[in-house]
Amino acid sequence: MIETWQQDLPHGIQLSCRAAGTKGRPVLMFLHGFPEAAFVWDELMQHFSKPENGAYRCVAPNLRGYEKSSQPTDVSAYRAKFLIQDIAALIQIESGLTPLKALVAHDWGGGVAWNMANQIPQCMNKLVIINSPHPGTFLRDLKTNPEQIAASDYMNYFCEPQAAAELSANHFEKIFEFFDKGITPVWLTPELKTQYRTAWSYGLQGGLNFYRASPLKPSKLGESTLEKLVLPDAMLRIHVPTLLLWGLKDFALLPHLNVGLEHFVPALQYVPIEEGSHWVVHEHPEIIQREMAAFL
């Protein structure tokens, strides 16, 4: 059974949350990406909350800007330090001084999780990343890999002032097209489409502000901002044991992003999923469950 509530954080942000499992048990926390929402983790949370699968307390917040969570209008409010502040506060509420059993994250949730594992590794025992590039290899490929630069071009479109309106038009027709790229989304049932439309009905601009606030996106024609960006090695090191699950048919985030990743993440287990796309959580929940269970 999934419980839902609005969680007030000490710094004035409110996160709408979903959870399964008994409070007081070791916590798994799940962070979604764009254009998703916390509900995408329901199946995994219900699985891992069962006694035979660890009886974990599983918690999935809607990140700031999404669904019923706070939606600041200032783009700067979506910088990494504020996103980390939200999740760190939620961890303290849910787990107290005990580290998470694992932080599990996909897409933009992974962007938050990579930063948390670098800056406050003591808040988690393990890290599970699903199709979300490490900032070090992402910056490298956005500078030097023409295929990844082309694949990431949509990020600049998401920063355009008209993007939210265009993506929302005709019952979100254009945003649903992103699910069609790569592997045919047989998982996208009418019921799931309704869940997505309900989440998006609260507005898309908050989620799009993640792209606007991030320096990690391809340079526009005539600009050289990205080429001048340097991330210190100390900001990129991850010493938390990490499981990386990657759908190899991701149209936006190419597998080359994982080449050389062991330089930044020495305690890395990498599991490529041959017939998985960016939406591998929907496509292969049984693989995610199996690999997570072995890792935990």
Distance from CA of residue 173 to its chain's centroid? Answer: 22
Q: Nearest-CA neighbor of 282 among 167, 191, 153?
A: 191
**Residue type present at position 190:** P
Q: pLDDT in tens for each of the 296 residues of the chain? A: 999 999 999 999 999 999 999 999 999 999 999 999 999 999 999 999 999 999 999 999 999 999 999 999 999 999 999 999 999 999 999 999 999 999 999 999 999 999 999 999 999 999 999 999 999 999 999 999 999 999 999 999 999 999 999 999 999 999 999 999 889 999 999 999 999 999 999 999 999 999 999 999 998 877 778 888 999 999 999 999 999 999 999 999 999 999 999 999 999 999 999 999 999 999 999 999 999 999 99
Q: CA 251, 255, 259 angle in degrees (round to 5)?
A: 155
For residues 228 and 163, is the Cβ–Cβ distance under 8 A?
Answer: no
- CATH code for 3-295? 3.40.50.1820
Q: What ranges do the domains of the chain cover? A: 3-295
User: β-strands 14-20, 3-8: how paired?
Assistant: antiparallel
**What's this model's pTM, rounded to 2 decimal places?**
0.98
Q: Nearest-CA neighbor of 251 among 107, 36, 43?
A: 107
Per DSSP, 71 falls in state: -
128 SS3 class: strand
Per DSSP, 32 falls in state: -
**Cβ within 8 Å of residue 160, ≥6 positions away:** none
In which residue are the tokens 């989440």 written? 199
For residues 90 and 120, is the Cβ–Cβ distance under 8 A?
Answer: no
Phi–psi pair at 242, nearest 5 degrees:
-130, 130
Q: Nearest-CA neighbor of 107 among 292, 247, 11?
A: 247
Question: What tokens were used for 279?
Answer: 């939406």
For residues 295 and 269, is the Cβ–Cβ distance under 8 A?
Answer: yes
Q: Give the count of alpha carbons within 13 A of 57, CB side only.
A: 16
Q: Nearest-CA neighbor of 269 among 165, 86, 129, 80?
A: 129
In which residue are the tokens 């938050």 written? 112
pLDDT at 224: 77
